[in-house]
Amino acid sequence: MIVSNFRCKVNINGRAFLLPLIYIEDADFLPSFVSYIVAHRKKSKSWKDKAVASVKLLVEYVIASENKFEKKSELFEQFVYDLEFGTILEDISDPLELWWPPRRINVAHDNLYHVNIFTDWLYDSYLEKNSGDEYAVKADLLYNPKIKATKSEYLVNLAAYHNRKNKSFLKHLIKDASEEQGLQTTRKYKISRERLNKDIERAKYFPEELFWNFIERFRLRGATDADPIEKRLNLRNVLITLLLHYGGLRLSEPFHLFTSDIKFSDGDSDMAIVEIHHPYDGQPPEGAKGFSTRAEYLLKKYQLYPRNAVEGRGASYGAGWKGMQLNRLGFAKVYWFYEEAGRYFFHLLRLYLQFQRMPSNDHPFLFTNLDGSPFSISSLLGDN
């Protein structure tokens, strides 16, 4: 039986969401996962992609293993083992015909993390439905004839029940949210190897001595060394690169900037003060009256959603948001590694706004394409 994942438009209260779903051949979309992903639709695209990929592995495994274990507890214990070490035996055979290779330890931990929170959510949804009565949960989750669940849905329900009752899939990882809250629970079945400690890995960085040579690679077509910088370099790409290299921003964060987010420093008129606002909860531009948040401002003035929202206008509009320490107004300031970088940024910004940025009345974003539309991450990486 083939298990696939697709991106589908799901209509929720009249609004279309593009969400990843799990489809089972000769059955249908997995109902429990549809409900789960709808409940978590505001999560980042990368989070949802990891969730669908991980739960798909669970569904594939329980279908392939249905009649191969006397006890279901043994099936789920073996799932954890096979997820880590693969299903291919030493003689290059695979009784389950899944052909899973061994996984990198961090990938296996991530997969089990998402399987764990999905099955916990599924169990809790039945617990809430039955007012906390665990006996009613068992009957409803596993034996309720009104559900008419498919075989695969039944097995996923069984995984959720077994996981909660036996704490079977995954120990809580270091720095997991539950640990931070003081919970001391551990899982019975867990990955045999610890997650690799990223703290001991050598930090990746771009060699400083090569940085300005790299900046020159943003040269405009046909430009020469004698041309002024606004005619020689793609200033949009240079500005974004300065924010990443000297401002410490993540790749996606400059794509949320409005033109109004760059301000003069009170003590240095040549220094750029860059404010990174939360895409939803950040402040609307100064002077934009009648709006309480950026999300409201974008929606009512431009008929747009924040760029990290799944309701956006496709992949070229999207830009992720992983979060940062924000003040009570919903923004954080960029602190330049070198003050001169902030001054140089402001100098180039003025030239960019005067000579290269294509004006648009359709959005407030700082960085634009040649047609005035919001600039995209894919265009930056492809240098389009």
Going from N- to C-terminal start, the domains of the chain cover 3-199, 213-382
Give the torsion sign (CA, 254, 255, 259, 261): negative
Residue 81: how many CB atoms within 10 A of its CB? Answer: 13
For 26-44, the pLDDT digits (tens) are: 667 778 888 888 888 888 8
The per-residue pLDDT for 62 is 82
The per-residue pLDDT for 312 is 43
For 249-291, the pLDDT digits (tens) are: 999 999 999 999 998 777 777 888 899 999 988 899 988 888 8
Cα gap 253→259, rounded to integer Å: 14
The per-residue pLDDT for 206 is 80
Cα Rg of the chain (Å, integer) = 25
**Alpha carbons within 13 A on the beta-carbon side of 30:** 31
Residue given tokens 């594939």 in the structure block: 60
Cβ pair 257, 382 in contact under 8 A = no
Strand stretches in the chain, DSSP E: 3-12, 15-24, 262-264, 272-277, 331-333
Cα gap 365→372, rounded to integer Å: 10
Extract the residue ranges of the chain whose pLDDT is less than 50.
Answer: 1, 137, 139-149, 170-187, 311-313, 384
What distances in angstroms separate CA 310 from CA 17, 29, 46, 297, one per listed residue?
Answer: 6, 20, 11, 17
Cβ pair 297, 284 in contact under 8 A = yes
Environment class of residue 287 by beta-carbon count within 10 Å: exposed (0-12), middle (13-18) or buried (19+)? exposed
Q: Coil, strand or helix: which one is 226? A: coil
Cβ pair 20, 37 in contact under 8 A = yes
The per-residue pLDDT for 5 is 63
The per-residue pLDDT for 141 is 47
Cβ pair 118, 55 in contact under 8 A = yes
Environment class of residue 265 by beta-carbon count within 10 Å: exposed (0-12), middle (13-18) or buried (19+)? middle
The per-residue pLDDT for 103 is 79
DSSP state of 162: H
The per-residue pLDDT for 69 is 75
Structure tokens at 241: 């690169």
